[in-house]
Chain A
Amino acid sequence: MTEEQVEIFLKLQPQIKSAYDEITLLSKKKPTEPLNKFKLKFINSMLNQANHILQNDYIPFPDEFEQFDVDDMPNNGDVVFILSHYLTSLEKLRCDNIKYQKHYYYWVIDGEVSTLKTSPPCIK
Protein backbone atom coordinates (compact mmCIF):
# COMPACT_ATOMS: atom_id res chain seq x y z
CA MET A 1 0.00 0.00 0.00
CA THR A 2 1.13 3.57 -0.58
CA GLU A 3 1.26 6.20 2.12
CA GLU A 4 -1.79 7.90 0.60
CA GLN A 5 -3.77 4.64 0.62
CA VAL A 6 -2.89 4.05 4.28
CA GLU A 7 -4.00 7.58 5.13
CA ILE A 8 -7.31 7.03 3.37
CA PHE A 9 -7.67 3.67 5.08
CA LEU A 10 -7.13 5.13 8.54
CA LYS A 11 -9.89 7.65 7.99
CA LEU A 12 -12.27 5.40 6.08
CA GLN A 13 -12.38 2.24 8.18
CA PRO A 14 -13.77 3.92 11.31
CA GLN A 15 -16.20 5.89 9.15
CA ILE A 16 -17.61 2.74 7.57
CA LYS A 17 -17.66 1.01 10.96
CA SER A 18 -19.60 3.89 12.42
CA ALA A 19 -22.12 3.87 9.53
CA TYR A 20 -22.41 0.11 9.87
CA ASP A 21 -23.18 0.37 13.60
CA GLU A 22 -25.70 3.13 13.00
CA ILE A 23 -27.57 1.34 10.24
CA THR A 24 -27.42 -2.00 12.09
CA LEU A 25 -29.48 -0.32 14.79
CA LEU A 26 -32.02 0.84 12.21
CA SER A 27 -31.99 -2.53 10.55
CA LYS A 28 -32.76 -4.38 13.77
CA LYS A 29 -35.90 -2.31 14.12
CA LYS A 30 -36.96 -2.08 10.48
CA PRO A 31 -34.82 -4.19 8.15
CA THR A 32 -36.99 -3.61 5.08
CA GLU A 33 -37.29 0.14 5.42
CA PRO A 34 -35.61 2.00 2.53
CA LEU A 35 -32.72 4.23 3.51
CA ASN A 36 -33.16 7.89 2.70
CA LYS A 37 -31.25 9.61 -0.11
CA PHE A 38 -29.23 11.75 2.30
CA LYS A 39 -27.66 8.77 4.09
CA LEU A 40 -27.23 6.86 0.84
CA LYS A 41 -25.21 9.71 -0.65
CA PHE A 42 -22.62 9.46 2.14
CA ILE A 43 -22.56 5.68 2.13
CA ASN A 44 -21.91 5.69 -1.60
CA SER A 45 -19.13 8.22 -1.13
CA MET A 46 -17.47 5.92 1.46
CA LEU A 47 -17.91 2.90 -0.79
CA ASN A 48 -16.27 4.79 -3.67
CA GLN A 49 -13.22 5.56 -1.58
CA ALA A 50 -13.13 1.98 -0.34
CA ASN A 51 -13.27 0.68 -3.93
CA HIS A 52 -10.35 2.97 -4.74
CA ILE A 53 -8.05 1.46 -2.09
CA LEU A 54 -9.36 -2.11 -2.18
CA GLN A 55 -9.05 -2.53 -5.94
CA ASN A 56 -10.15 -5.71 -7.65
CA ASP A 57 -8.24 -8.12 -5.38
CA TYR A 58 -10.11 -7.12 -2.26
CA ILE A 59 -13.45 -5.65 -3.45
CA PRO A 60 -16.14 -7.97 -2.01
CA PHE A 61 -18.20 -8.40 -5.21
CA PRO A 62 -15.98 -7.06 -8.01
CA ASP A 63 -18.33 -7.76 -10.91
CA GLU A 64 -21.70 -7.39 -9.22
CA PHE A 65 -21.53 -4.41 -6.94
CA GLU A 66 -19.83 -1.03 -7.01
CA GLN A 67 -22.19 1.25 -5.11
CA PHE A 68 -25.90 1.61 -4.31
CA ASP A 69 -28.28 2.88 -6.97
CA VAL A 70 -30.56 5.46 -5.32
CA ASP A 71 -33.39 4.40 -7.64
CA ASP A 72 -33.23 0.82 -6.35
CA MET A 73 -34.30 2.07 -2.92
CA PRO A 74 -31.94 -0.18 -0.93
CA ASN A 75 -33.24 -0.97 2.53
CA ASN A 76 -31.47 -1.03 5.89
CA GLY A 77 -30.79 -4.75 5.67
CA ASP A 78 -29.16 -4.43 2.23
CA VAL A 79 -26.90 -1.64 3.42
CA VAL A 80 -25.82 -3.52 6.57
CA PHE A 81 -25.03 -6.59 4.46
CA ILE A 82 -22.81 -4.68 2.03
CA LEU A 83 -21.07 -2.59 4.68
CA SER A 84 -20.20 -5.68 6.70
CA HIS A 85 -18.54 -7.21 3.63
CA TYR A 86 -16.60 -4.03 2.99
CA LEU A 87 -15.43 -3.95 6.61
CA THR A 88 -14.17 -7.53 6.29
CA SER A 89 -12.40 -6.72 3.02
CA LEU A 90 -10.76 -3.63 4.50
CA GLU A 91 -9.54 -5.67 7.45
CA LYS A 92 -8.19 -8.31 5.07
CA LEU A 93 -6.33 -5.59 3.20
CA ARG A 94 -4.88 -4.28 6.47
CA CYS A 95 -3.84 -7.74 7.64
CA ASP A 96 -1.98 -8.31 4.39
CA ASN A 97 -0.14 -5.01 4.75
CA ILE A 98 1.15 -5.06 8.33
CA LYS A 99 4.16 -6.74 9.91
CA TYR A 100 5.05 -7.79 13.48
CA GLN A 101 8.34 -6.38 14.71
CA LYS A 102 9.69 -5.76 18.22
CA HIS A 103 6.39 -6.64 19.99
CA TYR A 104 4.29 -4.36 17.78
CA TYR A 105 2.53 -4.40 14.41
CA TYR A 106 3.62 -1.80 11.83
CA TRP A 107 2.18 -0.78 8.44
CA VAL A 108 4.14 -1.89 5.40
CA ILE A 109 4.29 1.15 3.10
CA ASP A 110 5.71 0.87 -0.43
CA GLY A 111 7.20 -2.53 0.47
CA GLU A 112 9.07 -1.26 3.55
CA VAL A 113 8.08 -1.69 7.20
CA SER A 114 7.21 1.81 8.36
CA THR A 115 7.27 3.30 11.83
CA LEU A 116 3.45 3.63 11.80
CA LYS A 117 2.02 1.31 14.46
CA THR A 118 -1.24 -0.56 14.06
CA SER A 119 -3.29 -3.05 16.02
CA PRO A 120 -2.88 -6.84 15.69
CA PRO A 121 -4.71 -8.51 12.78
CA CYS A 122 -8.28 -9.67 13.29
CA ILE A 123 -8.21 -12.00 10.27
CA LYS A 124 -5.38 -14.50 10.05
Chain B
Amino acid sequence: MIIRPRLNDFHNLTFTQTDVDFAIPFLDEDIPLYLDPFLLWKSPSQQDNSLHTTITNSFNQLGNMFLKDENQAVSILKEISECDAVGLGNSKSKQGKKIGDKMAYSVLSTFRDIPQINKQGYTHFEELQLLVDSFSKDRVSDIACNLLESFLIDYTIQQCEKHNVPMEIVNIDFFDLKKMAFVSEKVQLPTNPISKDQILFVPKRWLRFVPWINYEDFYKDYVSMSDKLDAGTTIPRVQLLDYNRQNYDQVQEFIKRKQLSQKDCQNDPLFSQIPILSSKRKLGNILKLPTGKTDNADQQYEKDLCPLLASMLFPELDFAKPQARTADGVLIRDLIFYNNTSHDFLKEIYDKYNSRQIVFELKNVKEVTTTHVNQLNRYLNNEFGSFGVIFTRNEPPKSVYKNTIDLWSGQRKCILIMTDNDLELMSQVYENKQRLPIDVLKKKYVEFTRQCPS
Protein backbone atom coordinates (compact mmCIF):
# COMPACT_ATOMS: atom_id res chain seq x y z
CA MET B 1 0.00 0.00 0.00
CA ILE B 2 1.62 3.24 -1.05
CA ILE B 3 0.97 6.70 0.37
CA ARG B 4 -1.56 8.82 -1.54
CA PRO B 5 -1.55 6.39 -4.46
CA ARG B 6 -2.18 7.59 -7.99
CA LEU B 7 -3.48 5.54 -10.87
CA ASN B 8 -0.07 5.22 -12.53
CA ASP B 9 1.57 4.13 -9.27
CA PHE B 10 -0.92 1.32 -8.90
CA HIS B 11 -0.19 0.06 -12.41
CA ASN B 12 3.58 0.59 -12.09
CA LEU B 13 3.54 3.08 -14.93
CA THR B 14 6.54 5.34 -14.73
CA PHE B 15 5.31 8.60 -16.24
CA THR B 16 5.38 11.74 -14.10
CA GLN B 17 2.72 14.41 -13.91
CA THR B 18 4.87 16.66 -16.08
CA ASP B 19 5.00 14.00 -18.83
CA VAL B 20 1.27 13.71 -19.40
CA ASP B 21 -1.45 16.04 -20.66
CA PHE B 22 -4.03 15.03 -18.06
CA ALA B 23 -4.16 15.38 -14.29
CA ILE B 24 -3.19 11.98 -12.85
CA PRO B 25 -6.07 10.90 -10.58
CA PHE B 26 -5.49 9.87 -6.98
CA LEU B 27 -7.09 6.58 -6.01
CA ASP B 28 -8.52 7.57 -2.65
CA GLU B 29 -9.05 11.31 -2.87
CA ASP B 30 -9.86 14.04 -5.36
CA ILE B 31 -7.49 16.27 -7.31
CA PRO B 32 -7.84 19.65 -5.56
CA LEU B 33 -8.60 21.55 -8.77
CA TYR B 34 -11.71 22.34 -10.78
CA LEU B 35 -12.57 22.42 -14.45
CA ASP B 36 -13.05 26.07 -15.38
CA PRO B 37 -15.20 26.49 -18.51
CA PHE B 38 -13.71 29.95 -19.02
CA LEU B 39 -10.35 28.30 -19.87
CA LEU B 40 -12.09 26.51 -22.73
CA TRP B 41 -13.65 29.79 -23.89
CA LYS B 42 -10.37 31.68 -23.93
CA SER B 43 -8.28 28.80 -25.28
CA PRO B 44 -6.60 29.35 -28.66
CA SER B 45 -7.71 25.84 -29.59
CA GLN B 46 -10.79 25.70 -31.78
CA GLN B 47 -11.67 22.36 -30.24
CA ASP B 48 -11.76 23.85 -26.74
CA ASN B 49 -13.86 26.77 -27.99
CA SER B 50 -16.39 24.47 -29.59
CA LEU B 51 -16.52 22.36 -26.44
CA HIS B 52 -17.31 25.53 -24.51
CA THR B 53 -20.10 26.27 -26.98
CA THR B 54 -21.38 22.74 -26.41
CA ILE B 55 -21.46 23.27 -22.65
CA THR B 56 -23.26 26.59 -22.96
CA ASN B 57 -25.72 25.44 -25.60
CA SER B 58 -26.60 22.31 -23.67
CA PHE B 59 -27.11 24.25 -20.48
CA ASN B 60 -29.28 26.80 -22.26
CA GLN B 61 -31.24 23.95 -23.81
CA LEU B 62 -31.86 22.65 -20.32
CA GLY B 63 -33.18 26.12 -19.45
CA ASN B 64 -35.53 26.03 -22.41
CA MET B 65 -36.71 22.63 -21.33
CA PHE B 66 -37.43 24.07 -17.87
CA LEU B 67 -39.74 26.65 -19.39
CA LYS B 68 -41.78 23.82 -20.92
CA ASP B 69 -41.35 20.94 -18.50
CA GLU B 70 -40.01 21.97 -15.11
CA ASN B 71 -39.86 18.52 -13.56
CA GLN B 72 -37.86 16.91 -16.35
CA ALA B 73 -35.32 19.76 -16.45
CA VAL B 74 -34.95 19.74 -12.66
CA SER B 75 -34.36 16.01 -12.63
CA ILE B 76 -31.71 16.26 -15.40
CA LEU B 77 -29.90 19.10 -13.65
CA LYS B 78 -29.84 17.10 -10.43
CA GLU B 79 -28.29 14.19 -12.29
CA ILE B 80 -25.58 16.25 -13.97
CA SER B 81 -24.68 18.17 -10.82
CA GLU B 82 -22.10 15.63 -9.71
CA CYS B 83 -19.39 13.85 -11.69
CA ASP B 84 -17.44 11.40 -9.54
CA ALA B 85 -15.58 9.84 -12.46
CA VAL B 86 -13.33 12.89 -12.99
CA GLY B 87 -12.35 13.09 -9.32
CA LEU B 88 -11.95 16.85 -9.08
CA GLY B 89 -12.53 18.88 -5.94
CA ASN B 90 -11.71 18.66 -2.29
CA SER B 91 -13.49 15.45 -1.40
CA LYS B 92 -11.49 12.95 0.64
CA SER B 93 -13.85 10.14 -0.21
CA LYS B 94 -14.18 10.62 -3.99
CA GLN B 95 -17.97 10.54 -3.54
CA GLY B 96 -19.88 13.77 -4.05
CA LYS B 97 -23.47 14.71 -3.36
CA LYS B 98 -25.90 15.77 -6.03
CA ILE B 99 -27.91 18.94 -5.63
CA GLY B 100 -31.46 18.80 -4.35
CA ASP B 101 -34.76 19.77 -5.98
CA LYS B 102 -34.73 23.20 -4.38
CA MET B 103 -31.31 24.17 -5.65
CA ALA B 104 -31.97 22.77 -9.15
CA TYR B 105 -35.21 24.75 -9.24
CA SER B 106 -33.49 28.00 -8.22
CA VAL B 107 -30.78 27.50 -10.83
CA LEU B 108 -33.21 26.84 -13.65
CA SER B 109 -35.69 29.50 -12.56
CA THR B 110 -33.10 32.11 -13.65
CA PHE B 111 -34.19 31.23 -17.21
CA ARG B 112 -37.68 32.34 -16.32
CA ASP B 113 -37.00 35.22 -13.95
CA ILE B 114 -34.16 37.07 -15.66
CA PRO B 115 -35.36 38.57 -18.96
CA GLN B 116 -31.91 38.70 -20.62
CA ILE B 117 -31.27 35.02 -19.85
CA ASN B 118 -34.77 34.11 -20.91
CA LYS B 119 -34.08 35.71 -24.25
CA GLN B 120 -30.45 34.86 -24.95
CA GLY B 121 -29.42 32.24 -22.42
CA TYR B 122 -26.03 32.15 -20.69
CA THR B 123 -22.68 32.81 -22.35
CA HIS B 124 -20.82 31.66 -19.25
CA PHE B 125 -23.02 29.53 -17.04
CA GLU B 126 -20.58 29.98 -14.14
CA GLU B 127 -22.36 33.34 -13.70
CA LEU B 128 -24.79 31.29 -11.65
CA GLN B 129 -22.36 31.66 -8.74
CA LEU B 130 -23.36 35.33 -8.76
CA LEU B 131 -27.07 34.58 -8.94
CA VAL B 132 -27.86 31.53 -6.86
CA ASP B 133 -26.83 30.93 -3.26
CA SER B 134 -24.69 27.83 -2.59
CA PHE B 135 -24.00 27.30 -6.29
CA SER B 136 -20.26 26.88 -5.94
CA LYS B 137 -17.20 26.19 -8.06
CA ASP B 138 -17.49 22.43 -7.67
CA ARG B 139 -20.97 22.54 -9.24
CA VAL B 140 -19.65 24.56 -12.17
CA SER B 141 -16.90 22.01 -12.65
CA ASP B 142 -19.11 18.95 -12.28
CA ILE B 143 -21.86 20.22 -14.58
CA ALA B 144 -19.27 21.13 -17.22
CA CYS B 145 -17.66 17.69 -16.90
CA ASN B 146 -21.02 15.96 -17.31
CA LEU B 147 -21.85 18.03 -20.37
CA LEU B 148 -18.45 17.13 -21.83
CA GLU B 149 -18.54 13.51 -20.74
CA SER B 150 -18.72 12.07 -24.23
CA PHE B 151 -15.57 13.99 -25.18
CA LEU B 152 -13.86 13.04 -21.91
CA ILE B 153 -14.53 9.35 -22.57
CA ASP B 154 -12.78 9.57 -25.96
CA TYR B 155 -9.99 11.66 -24.47
CA THR B 156 -9.45 9.16 -21.64
CA ILE B 157 -9.32 6.21 -24.05
CA GLN B 158 -6.84 8.07 -26.25
CA GLN B 159 -4.59 8.96 -23.32
CA CYS B 160 -4.79 5.42 -21.89
CA GLU B 161 -3.68 3.98 -25.21
CA LYS B 162 -0.87 6.50 -25.45
CA HIS B 163 0.47 5.79 -21.96
CA ASN B 164 -0.49 2.10 -21.69
CA VAL B 165 -2.93 2.61 -18.83
CA PRO B 166 -4.97 -0.61 -18.42
CA MET B 167 -8.69 -0.31 -19.23
CA GLU B 168 -11.71 -2.50 -18.58
CA ILE B 169 -15.02 -2.78 -20.35
CA VAL B 170 -17.51 -0.87 -18.24
CA ASN B 171 -21.07 0.32 -18.52
CA ILE B 172 -21.11 4.07 -18.32
CA ASP B 173 -24.14 6.34 -18.08
CA PHE B 174 -23.49 9.66 -19.71
CA PHE B 175 -25.59 12.60 -20.74
CA ASP B 176 -26.47 12.51 -24.44
CA LEU B 177 -26.70 16.09 -25.60
CA LYS B 178 -28.80 15.28 -28.67
CA LYS B 179 -31.40 13.29 -26.79
CA MET B 180 -31.07 15.48 -23.67
CA ALA B 181 -31.20 12.29 -21.66
CA PHE B 182 -28.87 9.84 -19.99
CA VAL B 183 -27.80 6.89 -22.11
CA SER B 184 -25.83 3.84 -21.17
CA GLU B 185 -22.96 2.56 -23.23
CA LYS B 186 -20.29 -0.13 -22.95
CA VAL B 187 -16.84 1.38 -23.31
CA GLN B 188 -13.29 0.66 -22.29
CA LEU B 189 -12.18 2.89 -19.45
CA PRO B 190 -9.65 2.78 -16.63
CA THR B 191 -11.14 1.91 -13.26
CA ASN B 192 -10.24 2.66 -9.70
CA PRO B 193 -8.65 -0.58 -8.44
CA ILE B 194 -9.95 0.06 -4.93
CA SER B 195 -13.53 1.18 -5.53
CA LYS B 196 -13.87 -0.25 -9.07
CA ASP B 197 -15.42 3.06 -10.19
CA GLN B 198 -14.80 4.35 -13.68
CA ILE B 199 -12.17 7.03 -14.11
CA LEU B 200 -12.21 9.89 -16.59
CA PHE B 201 -9.13 11.98 -17.30
CA VAL B 202 -9.32 15.76 -17.59
CA PRO B 203 -6.76 17.83 -19.52
CA LYS B 204 -4.49 19.81 -17.18
CA ARG B 205 -4.97 22.94 -19.25
CA TRP B 206 -8.64 23.18 -18.15
CA LEU B 207 -7.99 23.15 -14.42
CA ARG B 208 -7.92 25.99 -11.93
CA PHE B 209 -8.22 26.25 -8.15
CA VAL B 210 -11.01 28.80 -8.54
CA PRO B 211 -13.06 29.54 -11.67
CA TRP B 212 -12.09 32.79 -13.43
CA ILE B 213 -15.63 34.04 -12.88
CA ASN B 214 -16.36 33.71 -9.18
CA TYR B 215 -18.28 35.43 -6.42
CA GLU B 216 -15.20 36.52 -4.44
CA ASP B 217 -13.73 38.45 -7.38
CA PHE B 218 -17.13 39.89 -8.18
CA TYR B 219 -17.40 41.29 -4.67
CA LYS B 220 -13.77 42.36 -4.27
CA ASP B 221 -13.05 43.78 -7.73
CA TYR B 222 -16.48 45.00 -8.77
CA VAL B 223 -19.00 45.56 -5.99
CA SER B 224 -16.64 46.94 -3.35
CA MET B 225 -15.15 49.35 -5.94
CA SER B 226 -18.50 51.05 -6.38
CA ASP B 227 -18.56 54.68 -5.28
CA LYS B 228 -22.20 54.21 -4.34
CA LEU B 229 -21.10 51.97 -1.50
CA ASP B 230 -20.06 53.58 1.77
CA ALA B 231 -16.54 52.64 2.81
CA GLY B 232 -16.45 49.69 5.13
CA THR B 233 -19.99 48.57 4.28
CA THR B 234 -20.44 44.91 3.54
CA ILE B 235 -23.41 43.51 1.68
CA PRO B 236 -24.69 40.12 2.76
CA ARG B 237 -24.21 37.47 0.09
CA VAL B 238 -27.87 36.53 -0.23
CA GLN B 239 -28.87 40.17 -0.56
CA LEU B 240 -26.29 40.71 -3.28
CA LEU B 241 -27.32 37.60 -5.20
CA ASP B 242 -30.90 38.79 -5.06
CA TYR B 243 -29.85 42.20 -6.32
CA ASN B 244 -27.96 40.54 -9.20
CA ARG B 245 -31.04 38.64 -10.27
CA GLN B 246 -32.99 41.89 -10.36
CA ASN B 247 -30.16 43.80 -12.05
CA TYR B 248 -28.57 41.30 -14.37
CA ASP B 249 -26.90 44.04 -16.43
CA GLN B 250 -24.46 44.47 -13.51
CA VAL B 251 -23.42 40.84 -13.83
CA GLN B 252 -23.07 41.27 -17.59
CA GLU B 253 -20.80 44.26 -17.03
CA PHE B 254 -18.61 42.23 -14.65
CA ILE B 255 -18.43 39.38 -17.17
CA LYS B 256 -17.36 41.82 -19.88
CA ARG B 257 -14.50 42.98 -17.65
CA LYS B 258 -13.47 39.42 -16.95
CA GLN B 259 -13.48 38.67 -20.66
CA LEU B 260 -11.28 41.69 -21.32
CA SER B 261 -8.76 40.52 -18.73
CA GLN B 262 -8.72 36.98 -20.11
CA LYS B 263 -4.93 37.13 -20.67
CA ASP B 264 -4.45 36.85 -16.91
CA CYS B 265 -6.56 33.72 -16.75
CA GLN B 266 -4.20 30.76 -16.73
CA ASN B 267 -4.63 27.19 -15.67
CA ASP B 268 -3.19 26.32 -12.26
CA PRO B 269 -0.41 23.77 -12.23
CA LEU B 270 -0.84 20.77 -9.96
CA PHE B 271 2.46 21.64 -8.36
CA SER B 272 4.51 24.79 -8.65
CA GLN B 273 8.09 25.25 -7.57
CA ILE B 274 9.00 27.94 -5.10
CA PRO B 275 10.95 30.80 -6.69
CA ILE B 276 14.73 30.90 -6.34
CA LEU B 277 14.68 33.96 -4.09
CA SER B 278 12.35 32.21 -1.71
CA SER B 279 14.42 29.02 -1.84
CA LYS B 280 17.54 31.00 -0.87
CA ARG B 281 15.62 32.55 2.00
CA LYS B 282 14.48 29.15 3.21
CA LEU B 283 18.00 27.76 3.00
CA GLY B 284 19.27 30.78 4.93
CA ASN B 285 16.65 30.15 7.62
CA ILE B 286 17.63 26.50 7.89
CA LEU B 287 21.34 27.22 8.16
CA LYS B 288 20.71 29.75 10.92
CA LEU B 289 18.43 27.43 12.91
CA PRO B 290 19.76 25.94 16.13
CA THR B 291 19.62 22.17 16.37
CA GLY B 292 17.20 20.46 18.71
CA LYS B 293 13.85 21.75 19.83
CA THR B 294 14.77 25.16 21.24
CA ASP B 295 12.06 27.64 20.23
CA ASN B 296 10.41 24.95 18.10
CA ALA B 297 13.44 24.86 15.82
CA ASP B 298 12.59 21.30 14.81
CA GLN B 299 9.19 22.36 13.50
CA GLN B 300 10.68 25.34 11.70
CA TYR B 301 13.27 23.02 10.12
CA GLU B 302 10.47 20.84 8.74
CA LYS B 303 8.44 23.84 7.67
CA ASP B 304 11.29 25.26 5.61
CA LEU B 305 12.76 22.03 4.33
CA CYS B 306 9.50 20.43 3.08
CA PRO B 307 8.71 23.00 0.35
CA LEU B 308 12.39 23.44 -0.44
CA LEU B 309 12.97 19.76 -1.17
CA ALA B 310 9.64 19.32 -2.95
CA SER B 311 10.54 22.21 -5.27
CA MET B 312 14.17 21.33 -5.82
CA LEU B 313 13.46 17.71 -6.66
CA PHE B 314 10.60 18.57 -9.04
CA PRO B 315 9.94 17.42 -11.76
CA GLU B 316 12.16 14.35 -11.37
CA LEU B 317 10.30 13.43 -8.18
CA ASP B 318 6.60 14.19 -7.80
CA PHE B 319 5.80 15.19 -4.26
CA ALA B 320 3.30 12.87 -2.59
CA LYS B 321 2.76 14.40 0.84
CA PRO B 322 4.31 15.33 4.12
CA GLN B 323 3.35 12.71 6.64
CA ALA B 324 3.24 13.11 10.38
CA ARG B 325 3.29 10.18 12.69
CA THR B 326 4.04 9.68 16.32
CA ALA B 327 6.72 7.33 17.47
CA ASP B 328 7.74 7.15 21.15
CA GLY B 329 5.75 10.29 21.76
CA VAL B 330 7.87 12.26 19.30
CA LEU B 331 6.36 13.78 16.21
CA ILE B 332 8.35 12.71 13.20
CA ARG B 333 7.83 14.39 9.91
CA ASP B 334 8.53 12.54 6.71
CA LEU B 335 8.44 13.63 3.15
CA ILE B 336 7.22 11.14 0.65
CA PHE B 337 7.83 11.29 -3.09
CA TYR B 338 6.56 9.16 -5.94
CA ASN B 339 9.35 7.45 -7.79
CA ASN B 340 8.54 7.52 -11.47
CA THR B 341 12.05 6.54 -12.60
CA SER B 342 12.43 9.76 -14.54
CA HIS B 343 16.19 9.91 -13.88
CA ASP B 344 18.79 7.15 -14.29
CA PHE B 345 19.49 7.25 -10.55
CA LEU B 346 15.80 6.89 -9.73
CA LYS B 347 15.54 3.99 -12.15
CA GLU B 348 18.43 2.31 -10.37
CA ILE B 349 16.90 2.60 -6.92
CA TYR B 350 13.54 1.49 -8.32
CA ASP B 351 15.15 -1.63 -9.78
CA LYS B 352 17.62 -2.37 -7.00
CA TYR B 353 15.66 -1.37 -3.91
CA ASN B 354 12.09 -1.70 -5.17
CA SER B 355 11.43 1.92 -4.20
CA ARG B 356 8.10 2.98 -5.64
CA GLN B 357 7.99 5.82 -3.19
CA ILE B 358 10.93 7.48 -1.53
CA VAL B 359 10.78 8.52 2.08
CA PHE B 360 12.86 11.40 3.45
CA GLU B 361 13.14 11.77 7.21
CA LEU B 362 13.97 15.17 8.59
CA LYS B 363 16.04 15.35 11.76
CA ASN B 364 17.01 18.70 13.22
CA VAL B 365 19.55 17.18 15.58
CA LYS B 366 23.16 18.06 16.31
CA GLU B 367 24.27 14.52 15.70
CA VAL B 368 22.28 11.81 13.97
CA THR B 369 22.41 8.56 15.93
CA THR B 370 22.02 4.86 15.25
CA THR B 371 18.52 5.10 16.77
CA HIS B 372 17.53 7.54 13.99
CA VAL B 373 18.91 5.20 11.34
CA ASN B 374 17.12 2.24 12.86
CA GLN B 375 13.89 4.20 13.00
CA LEU B 376 14.03 4.80 9.27
CA ASN B 377 15.13 1.24 8.71
CA ARG B 378 11.98 -0.04 10.42
CA TYR B 379 10.01 2.21 8.12
CA LEU B 380 11.60 0.70 5.01
CA ASN B 381 9.31 -2.15 4.18
CA ASN B 382 7.22 -3.18 1.23
CA GLU B 383 5.66 0.21 0.68
CA PHE B 384 8.90 2.16 0.45
CA GLY B 385 11.29 -0.52 -0.72
CA SER B 386 14.75 -0.53 0.79
CA PHE B 387 15.90 3.01 0.10
CA GLY B 388 15.53 6.01 2.39
CA VAL B 389 17.09 9.38 3.06
CA ILE B 390 17.72 11.18 6.33
CA PHE B 391 18.15 14.93 6.17
CA THR B 392 20.05 16.24 9.16
CA ARG B 393 22.27 19.17 10.10
CA ASN B 394 25.79 17.79 10.44
CA GLU B 395 27.92 14.96 9.12
CA PRO B 396 27.09 11.72 10.97
CA PRO B 397 29.70 10.19 13.31
CA LYS B 398 31.76 7.40 11.75
CA SER B 399 29.98 4.74 13.80
CA VAL B 400 26.59 5.83 12.44
CA TYR B 401 27.86 5.92 8.87
CA LYS B 402 29.31 2.46 9.38
CA ASN B 403 25.94 1.33 10.66
CA THR B 404 24.35 2.37 7.34
CA ILE B 405 27.01 0.41 5.45
CA ASP B 406 26.36 -2.62 7.67
CA LEU B 407 22.66 -2.30 6.90
CA TRP B 408 23.48 -2.47 3.22
CA SER B 409 25.80 -5.43 3.70
CA GLY B 410 23.35 -7.35 5.86
CA GLN B 411 19.93 -6.41 4.52
CA ARG B 412 20.70 -4.63 1.23
CA LYS B 413 19.00 -1.51 2.55
CA CYS B 414 20.37 1.85 1.54
CA ILE B 415 20.01 4.80 3.91
CA LEU B 416 21.64 8.03 2.80
CA ILE B 417 22.42 10.75 5.32
CA MET B 418 22.30 14.23 3.78
CA THR B 419 23.54 17.27 5.66
CA ASP B 420 23.34 21.05 5.51
CA ASN B 421 26.32 21.01 3.14
CA ASP B 422 24.45 18.80 0.70
CA LEU B 423 21.40 21.00 1.03
CA GLU B 424 23.53 24.05 0.22
CA LEU B 425 24.90 22.31 -2.84
CA MET B 426 21.38 21.32 -3.93
CA SER B 427 20.24 24.88 -3.50
CA GLN B 428 23.25 26.15 -5.43
CA VAL B 429 22.56 23.93 -8.43
CA TYR B 430 18.82 24.71 -8.20
CA GLU B 431 19.70 28.37 -8.50
CA ASN B 432 22.41 28.11 -11.15
CA LYS B 433 20.77 25.39 -13.20
CA GLN B 434 24.18 23.90 -14.09
CA ARG B 435 23.18 20.52 -12.69
CA LEU B 436 20.02 19.01 -11.23
CA PRO B 437 19.54 19.00 -7.45
CA ILE B 438 18.78 15.29 -7.68
CA ASP B 439 22.37 14.81 -8.92
CA VAL B 440 23.48 15.72 -5.38
CA LEU B 441 21.44 12.81 -4.08
CA LYS B 442 23.02 10.58 -6.69
CA LYS B 443 26.49 11.87 -5.75
CA LYS B 444 25.82 10.88 -2.15
CA TYR B 445 24.54 7.49 -3.28
CA VAL B 446 27.63 6.87 -5.45
CA GLU B 447 29.90 7.83 -2.54
CA PHE B 448 27.92 5.47 -0.31
CA THR B 449 28.12 2.53 -2.72
CA ARG B 450 31.89 3.03 -3.07
CA GLN B 451 32.18 2.42 0.67
CA CYS B 452 30.04 -0.71 0.54
CA PRO B 453 31.86 -4.06 0.39
CA SER B 454 31.91 -5.46 -3.14
A interface residues (Cβ-Cβ under 8 A, vs B) = 30, 32-37, 69, 71-73
Contacts and interface: CB of A to CB of B under 8 A. Distances in A.
B435 A34 contact: yes
A33 B439 contact: no
B434 A33 contact: yes
Nearest to A39: B434
Contact of B432 (A33, A37, A71, A73): A33
Nearest to B436: A37
B440 interface: yes
Interface string B419-454: 000000100110010110001101100110000000
A36 B435 contact: yes
A62 B439 CA distance: 28
Contacts of A30: 432
Contacts of A69: 446
B446 A71 contact: yes
Given A36-B435, A72-B443, 11 more contacts: A30-B432, A32-B425, A33-B434, A34-B429, A34-B439, A35-B434, A71-B439, A71-B443, A73-B439, A73-B440, A73-B443
Contacts of B440: 73
A32 B435 CA distance: 13
B428 A33 contact: yes
Interface of B: 425, 428-429, 432, 434-435, 439-440, 442-443, 446-447
A34 B446 contact: no
B425 to A, nearest CB: 7
A69 B439 CA distance: 12
| Chain A binding surface, main DSSP class | loop
B428 A32 contact: yes
A62 B325 CA distance: 52
20 contacts: A30-B432, A32-B425, A32-B428, A33-B428, A33-B432, A33-B434, A34-B434, A34-B439, A35-B434, A69-B446, A71-B442, A71-B443, A72-B443, A72-B446, A72-B447, A73-B425, A73-B429, A73-B439, A73-B440, A73-B443
| Chain B binding surface, main DSSP class | helix
A64 to B, nearest CB: 14
Contacts of B429: 33-34, 73
A41 B425 CA distance: 21
B38 to A, nearest CB: 41
Contacts of A73: 425, 429, 435, 439-440, 443
B4 to A, nearest CB: 31
Nearest to B431: A33
B425 A34 contact: yes
A32 B440 CA distance: 13
Contacts of B434: 33-36
> Which 4 residue pairs spanning A and B have beta carbons closest together?
A36-B434, A71-B446, A34-B435, A73-B443
B420 to A, nearest CB: 14
A69 B445 CA distance: 13
Contacts of A71: 439, 442-443, 446
A84 to B, nearest CB: 21
B435 A37 contact: yes
Nearest to A38: B434
Contacts of B439: 34, 71, 73
Contacts of A34: 425, 428-429, 434-435, 439
Contacts of A37: 435
A34 B440 CA distance: 10
Contacts of A36: 434-435
Contacts of B442: 71
Contacts of B425: 32, 34, 73
A43 to B, nearest CB: 14
A69 B443 CA distance: 10
Contacts of B446: 69, 71-72
B329 to A, nearest CB: 40
A35 B446 CA distance: 18
**Max chain A Cβ within 10 angstroms of own Cβ: one of B425, B434, B439:** B434
Nearest to B449: A71
Nearest to A71: B446
Nearest to A36: B434
B270 to A, nearest CB: 28
Contacts of B447: 72
Nearest to A73: B443
Nearest to B443: A73
A3 to B, nearest CB: 39
A36 B439 CA distance: 11
A71 B425 CA distance: 14
Nearest to A72: B443
A101 to B, nearest CB: 48
Contacts of A35: 434
Nearest to B445: A71
B449 to A, nearest CB: 10
A34 to B, nearest CB: 5
Nearest to B446: A71
A34 B442 CA distance: 14
